Chains A and B, each alone.
Chain A
């Protein structure tokens, strides 16, 4: 247990569905991250939030919409996805200073049909 939880662990959705991924951290961290891990590419940073403000959007398509209501919770809203969006979506959190080590959740395995 790293102190970062993600739900659901597995999700299958059609291209016309709307779904949301949830991440919660119990570490008192100030920064939260979404990553995409697919078989064909290295781990890709999608979004960064620091003190609830989005500080990075790594050219992510608008069909992915993040939301960070407070420093402990992070959502990724999904809409009109493509089959190539199937991947493991990892959430992480960090203190936001010093070595700023990132602690990862277990991920949500997403399959888009």
Chain B
């Protein structure tokens, strides 16, 4: 079964600095991978997804993610963080008839 792991529970970053959130997957074949964001008090919103092809995926809100098979990773990045990026971020992959989510990484943005 396909699963994902997010090693970082909490990350604090300064506004304007770069951000990278880690996601590791476990699956032999090419996985489907997603990143979702949950703003405080809100549901989850899809940031980007990877199915195949170009390993660098562009998403909404200025985010991108790179699929690296050699490292079994699908890390999310943003070059310059805004205060509104403070949220919880989830990596996910399909598993049978559901999405399996990582435990999430909470991002705090300091002024």
A and B bound? no
Contacts from A to B (Cβ < 8 Å) = none
